[in-house]
Amino acid sequence: MLAVDDVPAALDDLCGMLREAPEVAEVAAAGDTVAALKRLQSEEFDAVFLDIAMPGLDGLEFASLLKKLARPPAIVFVTAYDQHAVAAFGIGAVDYLLKPVRAERLADALARVSRIVSTEKAGKTPQRQPAPDALAALPVESGGRTRYVRRQDVRYVEAHGDYVRLHTHSGVHLVRMPISRLEEYWANAGFVRTHRGFLVALSAVRELRSDSVGGLLAHTDLGDVPVSRRHARHLRERLLRAAQRGELRPEGMAP
C-alpha cells in the first residue's frame, strides 16, 4: 500500500493504521504527489490511500493520472473534506474516508481493495465503480455549512450552467456538477433525461400533459418538467415499465 499526504502527522497516523491491519503486508509513504509518482514508476502497489488537498498536483488530479497506468492501483481517498465525494467516485475511487479515519471504515476500505486485487489476480475484470447507493445523497454547501440531500427526496433536476438545481419538498438545492454527469450516476436509480436541461424521477411523475403550444410536460407535485420530442418516446416507455412494476407513487401519497 502507498499512503500519500502532505501533512507529516496525518501521514504517520495513516501509515500506522495501515501497518496494524492484518491484510496489509507493506506500507510505503510519500509526502506529496511528486514523490508518490516517483515511487509508482519503480514499484507496484495494490492501492494508494490519497489525500485530496495537497499543493501542486492535488489528489483528484493525481488519481486521474493513475487511472491511465497499465495496471492502476485501487484508489482510496482520505480527506477532511466531504464535498469532493462525487468527483472522487466519478474518477473510480474504491472508497472515500473522512479524517479522522475510524478503524472500522478503514477495514471496510481494505476489504474492498482486497476484493479488487483478488479479482484481478484471478484474471477477471474488477468492478471499480461505486456501489449503487454510493451517491444516494449529495453534499450541498450553504452559508459555510454542509447538508445532504437524499436522492429519494429529489423530484426533478434542472441544469444551471456548471451546477444543477435539485428540486425537493425542502427547497431547491444547488450542487456544482454538470447535469450529464449526474444523469450517469442516477440513471440506474430511476432518473430519466426529459430535456437537455432536465432530469426527472420516474416515481415522481403523476401524468404527462400538453402545454399551451402543444409541447409535452411531465407533471410532478413540485411542478411541470418539459419533455423534448427527442426524449418523449423513451420517457413514455420507462414510465410504462415502471407502472407495470408498481414503482410509481400513487396520487396523493405523502413524500
pLDDT digits (tens, 9 = 90+) for 72-86: 899 999 998 877 887
DSSP state letter for 203? G
238 is a domain residue: yes
| Same domain as 157, residue 105 | no
Report the DSSP beta bridge partners of residue 216.
210, 227
- CATH code, 32: 3.40.50.2300
pLDDT over threshold 70, residue 192: yes
Please answer whether residues 199 and 235 qualify as being in contact, where contact means their C-beta atoms are separated by less than 8 angstroms: no
Give dist(CA 46, CA 113) in Å, integer: 8
105 is a domain residue: yes
Q: How confident is the model over 157-186, as pLDDT tens digits?
A: 999 988 899 999 999 999 878 898 788 878
Q: How confident is the model over 207-253, as pLDDT tens digits?
A: 999 988 888 999 999 999 999 999 999 999 999 888 887 777 654 33
129 is a domain residue: no
- Number of structural domains, the chain? 2
DSSP state letter for 153? G
Of 77, 94, 121, the one marking the end of a domain is: 121
Q: Decide: helix, strand or coil at residue 165.
A: strand
Q: How confident is the model over 7-30, as pLDDT tens digits?
A: 999 999 999 999 999 989 899 999
| Same domain as 153, residue 83 | no
Report the DSSP beta bridge partners of residue 74.
47
Q: Can you give the residue range of the structural domain that contains 106?
A: 2-121
Q: Which residue has the higher pLDDT, 107 or 123?
A: 107
| Same domain as 240, residue 158 | yes
| Same domain as 162, residue 215 | yes
| Same domain as 176, residue 110 | no
| Residue-level pLDDT at 106 | 93
| Same domain as 42, residue 80 | yes
Q: What is 211-223 written as a DSSP string?
A: -TTS-EEEEETTE
pLDDT over threshold 80, residue 104: yes
Distances (CA, A) of 225 to 24, 38, 149, 195: 51, 51, 20, 9
| Same domain as 150, residue 105 | no
Give dist(CA 192, CA 80) in Å, integer: 33
Report the chain's mean pLDDT, rounded to a whole number.
86
